A and B are shown apart, each in its own frame.
Chain A
Amino acid sequence: MQRLLEIAALNVRFATPEGEVAAVRDVDFGVGAGECVGLVGESGSGKSQIFLAALGLLARNGRVSGTARFGDLDLLTCDRAALDRIRGARVGMIFQDSMTSLAPHLKIGEQLAEVLEVHGGLGSRVARSRALAILERVHIGDGATRLAQYPHELSGGMRQRVMIASALLCDPELVIADEPTTALDVTIQAQILELFRELRRESRLSLVVITHDIAVVAGLCDRVAVMYAGRIVEEAPVGALLRTPRHPYTHGLLAAVPRLDDSTDTPMQAVPGQPPNPAAWEAGCSFAERCTRASEHCRRERPELTADGSGTRTVACHHPLGETRA
């Protein structure tokens, strides 16, 4: 069955003074209708660039190749007008930093109304009632007051809700949430995650959650893909990924999360080294220099994403972990 969003062989390169930087390398990614897929990766892994590229929001020095299909539309080859029509209306995007994504000089009501007028051609009164309705849907109380406020007058959590509201305004089929809970307090984060769960229950919303915090995807996503240095290194249903990670990096990410039942006497299992420089290019596996299981083979030959027997998961590793995580 055709998936709602299908990205294949996506490559994103940036021309910088230091040379060409490959931010996204050969990425396949898909979201089915009503599905929630998580994309986990650290800074520099390229996870945001995939969707910025697909939606035509790439920086000026960026080059894309590959395919990105949304429904019947080929996003990378269609004209600007077609892209403008689906952005906001059929695909909602929640950007990373709500403080910089909301225009500081416009009231909330004006920003929401702008989206409605551009996409729905709605008159101002209808737009206002629609805006109030959407604020209520994301549990922002006292919507009338909020509409008249400026972004800086709202708290971080409230702004995030406004961002979510703005993405939902036109009833999109797909919402891409880029780091939706980063920079939020943990109690607010719990609220926002609960809100996402509720939204998914209410409608057949497809959701992509981009995050560096693997714990966020646990309670929200059906499937999770893990990115490292511009490539997808593992993809699996969420339960399988969390219980039995196959890629050493995934395992490292999970081990790096301090748990309430950890022993505090032993050091944490840290992934040695640091995330790679995106400008660097290696012949073999990008993770080899930080991997405790790396062999000479890993350094020479890049592992391809291969499916396992069940067909539900893939991993790109020459020596994947096989045993169940303790």
Chain B
Amino acid sequence: MNAVAAVTGPVERGLWRDAWRTLRTRRTALAAAFTLLLIAALAALGPYLSPHRFDALDYTHILAGPALESGHWFGTDDLGRDLFVRSMLGLRISLAIGLIATAISVLIGVSYGAVAGYLGGRVDELMMRAVDLLFAMPQFFFVLLLAVVFDQNLIVLFVTIGAFGWLVMARIVRGQTLSLMHREFIEAAIACGVSTPRILARHIVPNVLGPVIVYATLTIPQMILLESLLSFLGLGVREPLASLGGLVADGAAHMQAAPWMLLIPGGFLSLVLLAFNFVGDGLRDALDPRER
């Protein structure tokens, strides 16, 4: 038994407690998490603070700059729509896409990967070859295609973006599951006659959560970015709704006349992406070294 471990206690002193302790020391991750919370609160409550609607056209203030007196705190766009409310809307949609699409990919990826890793053998091979195949496909073009075919339907957008994110998650979970299979508590569960679904649910999945959480946190910004790209190409959420990417696209067109149209949504987008990445990094430090 390792001498140091013998003195300081077994290495795995409780995943969550240790993780929390490590996370507390990662200032950037904490700051980023706090920022995200602020942004989420803003996105949720912000629109109620302003008298304007996101699709209301104000002909008296077209491409107006940010001004407190006019009631348009972030200014307006080329159609006279208030940018503050639209930015909040954009935040809501981008965050929603990020979270929902990630949730979909986690659900699919974890189930798929755990089953493949657990069953092993031929089934595992088949399942992972399927993943390889899908991986080789140009994801972006598929999403584009489906966006066009389904006329930028919001639900379809969520699903198709999330549907490609599960591939890497499945690979990660399969790898973790394979290494878990060597641990005796899985054999003990089999010896106790525990059914396969229960083994997957109670023994495998809870023990792969560490990398899953880390990867999920890093997937969210990827999803947001993907949607932003689509919006930039005009194939994201349909007007008058807009994600941050859509707002950035609008803003880019009017960059010289009204720079705030680009900078404000762009700033929010960058902040959100950065914050998620920092939190993900911090979580990886906190969770991964403890995982075997």
List chain A positions with a Cβ less than 8 A from chain B.
14, 16-18, 21, 23, 43-44, 46-49, 52, 59, 96-97, 178, 277-279
Contacts and interface: CB of A to CB of B under 8 A. Distances in A.
A49 B2 CA distance: 11
Contact of A48 (B3, B8, B21): B3
Given A14-B7, A44-B6, A59-B4, 18 more contacts: A16-B8, A16-B9, A17-B21, A18-B9, A21-B7, A21-B8, A23-B7, A44-B7, A46-B7, A48-B3, A49-B4, A49-B7, A96-B2, A96-B3, A97-B2, A277-B9, A278-B6, A279-B9
B21 A43 contact: no
A18 B21 CA distance: 11
A59 B6 CA distance: 13
Interface in B94-134: none
Contacts of B192: none
Is the contact region of chain B dominated by helix, strand, or loop, or is it mixed?
helix
Contacts of B6: 43-44, 278
A228 B4 CA distance: 16
List the 7 closest A-B pairs by CB distance, nearest first: A48-B3, A43-B6, A23-B7, A43-B1, A44-B6, A278-B7, A16-B8
Contacts of A277: 9
Interface in B1-19: 1-4, 6-9
A97 B1 CA distance: 9
26 contacts: A14-B7, A16-B8, A16-B9, A17-B21, A18-B9, A21-B7, A21-B8, A23-B7, A43-B1, A43-B6, A44-B7, A46-B7, A47-B3, A48-B3, A49-B3, A49-B4, A52-B3, A59-B4, A96-B2, A96-B3, A97-B2, A178-B3, A277-B9, A278-B7, A278-B8, A279-B9
A16 B9 CA distance: 10
Question: Chain A CB within 10 Å — which of B1, B4, B7, B8 has the most?
Answer: B7
Contacts of A44: 6-7
Contacts of B9: 16, 18, 277, 279
Nearest to B21: A17
Interface string B185-221: 0000000000000000000000000000000000000
A44 B10 CA distance: 11
Contacts of B4: 49, 59
